[in-house]
Amino acid sequence: MSTGRKMLTAKELAEHLNLTVETIQQHTRDNKIPHIDLGNQQYRYVLQDVMESLDDKHMVVCEEAAYSYSTDKIYTYSDYLLLPDEESFHYEILDGILIREPAPTKLHQRVLYRLHYLLQQYFWEQDPEAEIFGAPIDLTLSDINVVQPDLVYAPHDSDLEGQRINVIPELIVEIISPSTAKKDRIRKLEVYSRLGVPHYWIVDPKAQSFEAFIRDVSGRYTMTSFATGSGVFTHPSYPGLAIELGALWRRGKL
């Protein structure tokens, strides 16, 4: 990691990424972000290196597609409805920026369907009228933020009329890949926290990790649960929830 550029403290990096200092420290201990060890548990960070470590080089922005897109306009939900259907791609809008991405991999889909099933069993037992939606589903957080999360949990008292979800759900789960890591860990995390999503979980099949963030009173996410490998994921806000991670990664029957 280069040291020729400005180095940030954990607090300064947390402010840039809209995270808590505790979450930055956790990522540092887990070697999830590049850092400089000054000794005595003192660390410094280069913002560009942290951003580049979450590589999104495979993300395809819409101006590269055959369809005619503008890079100068702010896209809204009305624009989203006019986009062409492409079998191998899907679209999202983040703060007015239109993003076009390839269809998910088999590993992504395996983890998605298994986690969907496990969360259905848990949440329907706790709240029989709750809804657990899996991608593809349009979630309109605002007119310029239209996303397709992998999983969405909406309690029984959520207003879910119509063809899309147009309320702030209690929980969003994203299953990341190398091509979406930066978007999910940085861009979506910032949008979800700013717009008031209480719980955000990030599942990384390649690293076999499961991270849970909760929005605090300041409006920032702090990591509240973390599990890896064949460990068991639990969460203080959801008593009795226990997800054996080994079942998510392996092939074959649950």
- Show the CA angle centred on residue 97, arms to residues 24 and 213, nearest 5°: 25
110 and 236 in a single domain? The answer is yes
In which band, very low, low, confident or very high, does the pLDDT at 160 lie, cut at 50, 70 and 90? low
**Residues 6+ positions from 182 with CB-CB distance below 8 Å:** 51, 54, 55, 56, 59
Distance CA 53, CA 181 (A): 9
Q: Are residues 98 and 83 in the same domain?
A: yes
Q: Check pLDDT > 70 for residue 232.
A: yes
Q: Are residues 20 and 81 in the same domain?
A: no
Mean pLDDT, the chain, whole residue set: 84
Do 29 and 64 lie in one domain? The reply is: no
CATH number at residue 159: 3.90.1570.10
**Arithmetic mean of pLDDT, 89-115:** 89
pLDDT at 63: 37
The answer to whether residue 173 sits within a structural domain is: yes
Strand arrangement, sheet containing 139-142: 60-61, 97-102, 89-94, 145-147, 139-142
Q: Are strands 209-215 and 199-204 parallel, antiparallel or unpaired?
A: antiparallel
Domain count, the chain: 3
Residue 11, H or E segment: helix 10-17
> Is residue 1 in a domain?
no
- Whether residue 96 lies inside any domain: the answer is yes
Q: What domain range includes position 90?
A: 60-102
199-204 and 171-175 strand pairing: parallel
Q: Is residue 115 located within the same domain as residue 234?
A: yes
Q: Mind listing the pLDDT tens digit for each residue in 173-206?
A: 999 988 788 889 989 999 999 999 999 999 999 9
* Nearest CA-CA partner of 123 in 169, 57, 71, 83: 169
* Res. 66: pLDDT tops 70: no
Total-model pTM: 0.76
Q: Are residues 112 and 130 in the same domain?
A: yes
Predicted confidence (pLDDT) at residue 67 exceeds the cutoff of 70: no
**Do residue 66 and residue 119 come from a single domain?**
no
**Residue 127 and residue 34 share a domain:** no
Within-domain flag for 91:
yes
Q: What is the mean pLDDT of residues 133-151?
A: 91
Which of 102, 117, 132 finishes a domain? 102
Same domain (yes/no): 129, 236: yes
Q: Which residue has the tokens 């956790």?
A: 26
pLDDT for res 182: 85
Residue of 18 and 119 predicted with greater confidence = 119
* pLDDT reported for residue 37: 84
In a domain? residue 135: yes
Of the listed ranges 15-19, 163-167, 246-250, the least confidently predicted one is 15-19
Q: What is the C-alpha separation between 18 and 146, in angstroms, rounded?
A: 20
What confidence category does residue 47 fall into, taking pLDDT thresholds of 50, 70 and 90?
confident
Whether residues 40 and 166 share a domain: the answer is no
Residue 234, pLDDT above cutoff 60? yes
Does residue 153 belong to any structural domain of this protein? Answer: yes
> In terms of domains, do 79 and 42 share one?
no
Q: Are residues 116 and 233 in the same domain?
A: yes
